[in-house]
Every structure is written in structure tokens, then in C-alpha cells.
């Protein structure tokens, strides 16, 4: 079992390895945002923020915040040299038009078909989809970054039971237990966390898992 306090870091670090030089990436609120901290310095990734710019930079120092410059979570951020601002129609033209190479989002549930549910729990929590539906449909690669289970219950299911964010759009699931690819033949475990057994992963997963013939140990 992995130290709980490291779970988020493990996931963020592993997701960060998915990007290549020049990729345009949109990181969701929460854990996905932390991915930015672990991107290889030799890899230039351009972060897109759906509220209207590219070139999202780190959090400003206290006292140096610009009231006009926030990320899609409303947090003060910076814009890197060479960044560009645009309106919401252009922002989502970029997203829906396939100009974002990868989007990283959290999930409530994800399933064998690559269906994703991450925007509401009927009767309980209905924040709205924000930009998530467009991101999941439009990005070339959809990476779900999440803890493998929620209070011990699997989140990787045979079929999502919550209202979907999008159908059949997820490409990769990264958790603290492993890396799972969504293929036309279902979910394939490609990498497994150190000190974790395939049986442990299977036990924490409701969906059918195929084990890749060249299963690797997750680099973290």
C-alpha cells in the first residue's frame, strides 16, 4: 500500500510524463493542476486556460497578483512571455477544434468504454459542467487523473452510473495504483505502481482489466 500523502504527487508526476515538447495542454482544477509542477524542464508544454489564454504560468508571489488574471478556477496566476489572450468563443474553438493535445481531468467514475462522469451527482452535487464536456470531446488525448478508489469503493466501473460528461472519449487513466489505457477491447493495465500487485489493482477495480503482456512498473 502506498503512503496516502504521496498519492496525489505520484499521480501528478506520472501524468506529467505524458507530454511532449510543444504540446498544448489543459489541466483541470485540483489534482490535475499539480501536474504542472512535475513537467520535465526540457519539455515545453503550453498550458491553455479555458477562461481565455495560453501560456499559463505559476502562481504569483503574494502582493504581485493581477486582479485581471486568473485561471479557470478563479485563482490568481501569471502569464508567461509569449502568451496570448482571447475570448471564450476562441478559447473553445481551440478546445473543441482539436487544438489541445491533452486534457487532464479528475473523475467521479470512468468505465470500460471510456465513458466519463465528473460533473454531477443527482440530488446532491450539481455544480455544472463548466468547460469539461467540451474539453473531453475536443482534446486529442483525454487523461483521467484520480485516486483509484473513493473511500474504498471502485471508481473504474463496468458502466458509469452517474450522468456522463462525455461518451467514449477517455484515453488514459492514471491513478496511484497504475496506468490504464482505454482500448477498443476494453481497459488495459499498462503500468503498475511499485510494491503493488496485479491482484490488488483488480480488487480495487470493478471494470474488467486486461493485463498488458509487457506490464511495466510505473516510473514515479
Task: Pick the closer one to other proteins by CB: 50 or 191.
Answer: 50
Helix-, strand-, coil-residue percentages of the chain, each rounded to 5: 20, 30, 50
Phi, psi (deg, nearest 5) at residue 143: -110, 120
Task: Pick the closer one to other proteins by CB: 44 or 208.
Answer: 44
Task: Pick the closer one to other proteins by CB: 51 or 196.
Answer: 51
Cell of residue 146, nine digits: 484520480
Contact 129, 95 (CB under 8 A): no
The secondary structure of 4-27 as a DSSP string is: GGGHHHHHHHHHHTT--TT-EEEE
Would residue 176 show up in a list of annotated catalytic residues for this protein? Answer: no
Q: How far apart are the first and last CA of the chain?
A: 15
Pinpoint the alpha helices (H) of the chain: 7-16, 31-34, 88-96, 132-138, 198-203
Q: Least Å distance between CB 185 and other proteins? A: 20
Task: Pick the closer one to other proteins by CB: 54 or 156.
Answer: 54
Give the active site residue among 9, 34, 44, 50: 50
Round to whole Å and give the CA distance between 165 and 49. Answer: 19
Pinpoint the alpha helices (H) of 26-150: 31-34, 88-96, 132-138
Q: Least Å distance between CB 6 and other proteins? A: 28
Q: Least Å distance between CB 209 and other proteins? A: 24
Q: Which residues bind other proteins (CB under 8 A)?
A: 21-22, 24, 44, 46, 48-55, 66-70, 72-74, 79, 81-89, 91-99, 115, 126-134, 137-138, 163-168
Q: Least Å distance between CB 206 and other proteins? A: 21
Residues marked active site are found at: 50
Amino acid at each position: 500500500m502506498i503512503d496516502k500523502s504521496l498519492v496525489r504527487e505520484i499521480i501528478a508526476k506520472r501524468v506529467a510524463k505524458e507530454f511532449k515538447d510543444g504540446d498544448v495542454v489543459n489541466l483541470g482544477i485540483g489534482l490535475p493542476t499539480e501536474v504542472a509542477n512535475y513537467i520535465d524542464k526540457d519539455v515545453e508544454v503550453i498550458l491553455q486556460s479555458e477562461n481565455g489564454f495560453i501560456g499559463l504560468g505559476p502562481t504569483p508571489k503574494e502582493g504581485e497578483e493581477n486582479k485581471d488574471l486568473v485561471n479557470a478556477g478563479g485563482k490568481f496566476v501569471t502569464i508567461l512571455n509569449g502568451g496570448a489572450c482571447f475570448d471564450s468563443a476562441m478559447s473553445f474553438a481551440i478546445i473543441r477544434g482539436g487544438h489541445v493535445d491533452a486534457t487532464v481531468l479528475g473523475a467521479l467514475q470512468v468505465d470500460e468504454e471510456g465513458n466519463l462522469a465528473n460533473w454531477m451527482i443527482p440530488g446532491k452535487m450539481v455544480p455544472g459542467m463548466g468547460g469539461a464536456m467540451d474539453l473531453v470531446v475536443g482534446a486529442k488525448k483525454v487523461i483521467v487523473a484520480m485516486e483509484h478508489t473513493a473511500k474504498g469503493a471502485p471508481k473504474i466501473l463496468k458502466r458509469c452510473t452517474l450522468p456522463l460528461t462525455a461518451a467514449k472519449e477517455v484515453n488514459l487513466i492514471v491513478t496511484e495504483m497504475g496506468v490504464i489505457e482505454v482500448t477498443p477491447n476494453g481497459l488495459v493495465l499498462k503500468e503498475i505502481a511499485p510494491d503493488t500487485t496485479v491482484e490488488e489493482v483488480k480488487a480495487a477495480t470493478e471494470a474488467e482489466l486486461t493485463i498488458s503482456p509487457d506490464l511495466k512498473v510505473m516510473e514515479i
